[in-house]
């Protein structure tokens, strides 16, 4: 039986491209190369390039194929997207794949667009009774009154890009004078800015996937950082954050978080492996913080940690997900 050809699609247009490259390396190690023919495909604003064993070749955007060194046309059974940010996480790339009929690893394009815009996603989930932070959105060149913002949201608050990830451009604001500089910082990553209430509590993250045969919810991870909050430095600097799997929470809290994660997965029509971040407030109520439709896949990322904590093998999990998505699409 010939191997299924899987493109590991990485890169992107935002600050997260470096993180994406590390996720690509993680996937190349964790997906079974004896079962799948794995080929890195790098997407940048300037070019789409296959980095194959016999050389580097441009991708034809007509059908996501390439011509190898022997002059043969090569297509893929699956595109495994590990771009964090634009265009992989915001629905653009998946819309392209949907148009040309290329099977891929992540959610439908509408879901990607919704989850990538934090304000839109929160508004949608709130309509279904899911607990999310109180927030307001500042659009483009819209002028704002910092005093009114503080009165509306309260201090401290978080100011972040409405459409970006990996905590780039995020600020925890404690005084009114910091509001406008924080908005400008966030605008370097995204045209729209989300201003969100600060919620004190225990930060948890839940990885899960659903196939045609079963639902798998991994053990929760508790995130404890030495930083003011879980910012980019805390995420990617060794020793700055303690990631505890399984989380040190009661069975009652763990079950509640896992139940909400499954409901959100269905509400947003998700596919493949996702990660949903929560904060459990002092009163014990879980609040959804963020949806990650293309979570990091480095060896030390949350999902691989959770897979190992569940007593599962990364190669088996990724194989199950890939096979299911190829069959269903």
pLDDT, tens digit (0-9, with 9 covering 90-100), for 74-117:
999 999 999 998 999 999 999 999 999 999 999 999 999 999 99
- The pLDDT confidence band at residue 150, using thresholds 50, 70 and 90, is very high
Is 111 a member of any domain?
no
Band of pLDDT at residue 190, cut at 50, 70 and 90: confident
How far is residue 61's CA from residue 97's CA, in Å, rounded to a whole number?
10
pLDDT at 228: 59
- Is 129 part of a structural domain of the chain? no
Which range of residues forms the domain containing residue 158?
A: 135-197
- Do 204 and 315 share a domain, yes or no? yes
Report if residue 120 sits inside a domain: no
Confidence check: pLDDT of 326 > 50: yes
pLDDT for res 233: 54
61, 303 contact by CB (below 8 A)? no
224, 294: one domain: yes
What number of other Cβ atoms are within 10 A of residue 272's Cβ? 21
Element (H, E) at 229: none
The Cα-based distances of 295 to 53, 100, 207, 211, 299 in angstroms read: 26, 25, 9, 18, 12
Arithmetic mean of pLDDT, 30-39: 97
Please tell me the predicted confidence (pLDDT) of residue 168.
76
CATH (domain of 73): 3.40.50.20
Asked if residue 314 and residue 204 are part of one domain, the reply reads yes
CA–CA gap between residue 180 and residue 144 (Å, rounded):
8
User: Residue 189 above 80 pLDDT?
Assistant: yes
Rg, Å, the chain Cα set: 20
At 234 the pLDDT is 47
Residue 325 pLDDT: 96
What's the CATH number where 219 sits? Answer: 3.30.470.20
Among 220, 208, 206, 228, smallest CA distance to 290 is for 206
Query: Is residue 9 domain-shared with residue 40, that is, in the same domain?
Result: yes
State the pairing for strand pair 274-281/286-292: antiparallel
State whether 228 and 178 are in the same domain. no
Whether omega before 87 lies within 30 degrees of 0, making that bond cis, reads yes
**The pLDDT of residue 208:** 98
Query: Are 305 and 246 within one domain?
Result: yes
DSSP secondary structure of 102-151: --BSS--HHHHHHHHSHHHHHHHHHHTT--B--EEEE-TT----HHHHHH
Query: pLDDT confidence of 188, banded at 50, 70, 90?
Result: confident
Within this chain, do residues 210 and 262 fall inside the same structural domain, yes or no?
A: yes
CB 102 within 8 A of CB 59: no
Task: List the single range of 4-13, 145-154, 159-168, 217-226 with lowest mean pLDDT.
Answer: 159-168
Identify the domain boundary among 151, 170, 197: 197
> For position 170, which CATH number holds?
3.30.1490.20
pTM for this prediction: 0.91
pLDDT of residue 240: 65
The mean pLDDT of 246-272, rounded to a whole number, is 97
325 in a structural domain: no
* pLDDT the model gives residue 85: 87
**By percentage, how much of the chain surpasses pLDDT 70?**
94
Residues 299 and 235 in one domain: yes
Q: For residue 130, tell me if it sits in a domain.
A: no
pLDDT above 90 covers a percentage of the chain that reads 81
Q: What is the pLDDT of residue 164?
A: 64
Q: Is the pLDDT of residue 237 over 80?
A: no
- CA angle 78-81-85, nearest 5°? 160
Q: What is the mean pLDDT of the chain?
A: 92
Q: What is the pLDDT of residue 229?
A: 52
Q: Is the dihedral of CA 323, 320, 54, 296 positive or negative?
A: positive
pLDDT of the residue at 235: 52
Number of domains in the chain: 3
| Domain final residue, candidates 197, 224, 246 | 197
Looking at the structure, do residues 304 and 215 belong to the same domain, yes or no? yes
Choose the most confident range, by mean pLDDT, from 10-14, 114-118, 128-132, 299-303: 128-132
């Amino acid at each position: 039986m010939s191997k299924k050809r899987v493109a590991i699609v990485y890169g992107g247009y935002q600050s997260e491209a470096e993180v994406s490259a590390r996720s690509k390396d993680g996937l190349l190690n964790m997906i079974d190369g004896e079962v799948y023919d794995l080929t890195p495909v790098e997407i940048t604003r300037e070019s789409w390039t296959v980095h194959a064993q016999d050389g580097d070749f441009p991708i034809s955007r007509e059908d996501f194929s390439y011509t190898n060194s022997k002059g043969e046309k090569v297509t893929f059974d699956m595109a495994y997207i590990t771009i964090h940010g634009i265009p992989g996480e915001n629905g653009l790339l998946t819309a392209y794949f949907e148009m040309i009929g290329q099977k891929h690893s992540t959610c439908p394009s509408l879901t990607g667009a919704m989850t990538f815009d934090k304000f839109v996603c929160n508004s949608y989930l709130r309509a279904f009774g899911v607990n999310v932070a109180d927030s307001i959105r500042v659009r483009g060149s819209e002028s704002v009154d910092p005093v009114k913002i503080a009165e509306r949201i309260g201090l401290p608050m978080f100011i972040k890009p409405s459409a970006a990830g990996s905590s780039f451009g995020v600020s925890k604001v404690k005084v009114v004078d910091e509001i406008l500089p924080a908005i400008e910082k966030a605008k370097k990553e995204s045209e729209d800015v989300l201003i969100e209430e600060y919620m004190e509590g225990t930060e948890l993250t839940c990885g899960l996937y659903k196939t045609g045969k079963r639902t798998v919810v991994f053990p929760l991870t508790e995130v404890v950082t030495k930083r003011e909050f879980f910012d980019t430095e805390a995420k990617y600097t060794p020793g700055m954050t303690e990631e505890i799997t399984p989380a040190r929470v009661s069975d009652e809290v763990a079950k509640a978080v896992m139940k909400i994660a499954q409901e959100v997965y269905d509400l947003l029509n998700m596919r493949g492996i996702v990660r949903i971040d929560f904060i459990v407030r002092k009163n014990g109520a879980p609040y959804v913080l963020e949806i990650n439709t293309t979570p990091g896949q480095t060896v030390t990322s949350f999902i691989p940690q959770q897979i190992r904590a569940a007593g599962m093998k990364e190669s088996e999990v990724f194989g199950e997900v890939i096979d299911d998505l190829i069959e269903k699409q």
